[in-house]
Each structure stands twice: as structure tokens, then as C-alpha cells.
Amino acid sequence: MLRPRIIPCLLIQDGGLVKTVRFKDPKYVGDPINAVKIFNEKEADELVVLDIDASVKGIEPNYQRIANLAAECRMPLCYGGGVRTPEQARKIISLGVEKVAISAAALENPRLITQIAEEIGRQSVVVVLDHKKRMLGSTQDVWTHNGTRNTKRSVLEVAAEVAELGAGEIVINSIDNDGRMKGYDVDLAVKLRQTVNIPITILGGGGSLEDMHKVISKCGVVGVSAGSFFVFKGPYRAVLISYPSAQQKDDVIYSALQSN
């Protein structure tokens, strides 16, 4: 039975684990393998790892790093960064990764979504849509290449399209809320839930279990993901990797679903 998932999202840059604020000013927070080991111990539902260098620099995925992460990871792992072909996606899956995330390449070549779905199965294809509010109005546009290129297309429009093309899951990631830990864009999450009928994950702004509770109570069975919430502690953002206990997680999910 499907249930809401609480998912740490790790960003890799130059081989290290970093965290950004509004996609800028990356702060080094440690070694990715060490983080995976801690999330193993804490029995995280799933893990998303995104190489934020690969697509911007146009480089091949680092297969050795991916293999090392997959070998250590004892939970479902989603990896993204630099994937531009079905063959690359198949190779990543062969290394022990459950899901492959694509973003810029999928928007530049929408057929790639269908091709990768045919290669590795729709359930393993995740499309990440980074979005930011327009200067005027409430429309959220999809941006690519670490928030530097505006597609000038609505995130809901693109979400419907990629779902139709064969995406098995959509992650919407708020650039405006990234790293601020002041809450998710719940209104957009609700609209997305009404727009597509495939699994969705909401990322960007999570700063507490209450923030996650709000999303689940409004949207039902979704994934709620965060970065800063799981790697920082306190007002001075000291690095401390954490994850809710099984009881805390169950309490959040159960009470949120009861109010849905």
C-alpha cells in the first residue's frame, strides 16, 4: 500500500555534500557516503542524490561515485545529474539505483522521457521541475541549469506533459523556498496533485515536521523532501544530520492522513 514518504535530498558539488539557499551560495556540509550511512541507521524512507554540477557543465554522470553510493545505501535511492541518454539511465540502474532523475535534458528533448521509460521502466523515471514565481502574477515557471535558465513555461503545464510522456514520478522543487526552511508551497502542491495522477514529491522550504504535516494533510499520499532540515540544526545552521524517529514519522503521517 502506498503511503507518504519523508525523503532527504542531498546535493553533490565537486564530490562533496553541499546545501544552497535559493540555489546559490553552496555551503559544504560533509561527505556524501557518511551522510548515507547515517540515514541508513535512521531508516529513512528513501534518498534523493542530485549532482548539481553535471548538467550545468555537460559532463557524464560519475558512475564510480554512483556505485559507491548505491553499495552503501540500504534504502531506495534516486540519482540525478548529467543523464542525457537511455543508455546512461540503464547503466545507473545496473549499479543498484532504483530511480533516475532527469531535468534539463527532459525539457530540451521531451521524447527522452519516453525513451528512458521504455529502457528502465516508467516507475524508475523521475522528472525534477525546479520552479520560481514570475515577477508579476502568481504563475510558477520551470527553470533549468541550477535556476539560471527560464523555460517560460508553467510548472503545472510541464508537469502534465511529462506525466503524459511517461514520467513515473514528478519532483517539484521551489527555487524561491530552497534552503530557507520556512515552509513548502502548499498551494502549488495541491494544484499539482489535482493535475497529475502519478506519484509526486514536494521539495523546497521544509523546516519542520509540521511543514511536512501540512503538505500531507492537504495532498494525501505524496513524498515530502528536504535538504537543510536534515543537515542543519539551530539558528546558526550547525551541521548535524538528522531524521525523525519511526514514531515521530508515523505520528506525522497518521495525523495528516486523518485530517486529509
- The average pLDDT across 69-91 equals 97
Higher per-residue confidence, 161 vs 56: 161
Mean pLDDT of the chain: 95
How does pLDDT run across 37-54, given as a tens digit for each residue?
Answer: 999 999 999 999 999 988
Using the predicted structure, report yes or no on whether residue 255 has a pLDDT greater than 60.
Answer: yes
65 pLDDT more than 60 = yes
Q: What is the pLDDT of residue 72?
A: 97
Q: Are 115 and 133 in contact (CB under 8 A)?
A: no
Beta-strand pair 47-51/149-154 = unpaired
| Cα(6)–Cα(232) distance, integer angstroms | 16
Active site residue 176: no
Tens of pLDDT, residue by residue over 97-152, are: 999 999 999 999 999 999 999 999 999 999 999 999 988 777 899 999 999 999 99
What are 71-80's pLDDT values in tens digits? 999 999 999 9
Please choose, from the candidates 65, 1, 8, 5, the residue with its C-alpha nearest in 3D space to the C-alpha of residue 40.
8
Q: How far apart, in whole angstroms, are the C-alpha atoms of residue 85 and residue 198?
A: 23
Q: What is the mean pLDDT of residues 176-181?
A: 96
Residue 71's domain comprises 5-259
pLDDT at 56: 83
pLDDT at 135: 82
pLDDT value of residue 93 = 98
Looking up residue 99, the CATH number of its domain turns out to be 3.20.20.70
Q: What is the mean pLDDT of residues 8-31?
A: 95
Report the predicted TM-score, pTM, of the whole model to 2 decimal places. 0.95
Percentage of residues in the chain having pLDDT higher than 70: 100
Residue 1: the pLDDT is 55
pLDDT category at 260 given cuts 50, 70, 90 is confident
pLDDT tens per residue across span 198-212: 999 999 999 999 999
- Distances in Å between the Cα of 70 and the Cα atoms of 30, 32, 142, 228 are 18, 11, 29, 22
Of 116-120, 174-178, 232-236, 254-258, the range with the lowest mean pLDDT is 232-236
pLDDT exceeds 80 at position 159: yes
As a whole-number percent, the residues of the chain with pLDDT over 90 amount to: 92
> What's the total number of domains in the chain?
1
Average the pLDDT over 74-87 and give the result: 97
Q: Cell 533549468 maps to which residue? A: 144
Catalytic residue among 45, 51, 130, 211: 130
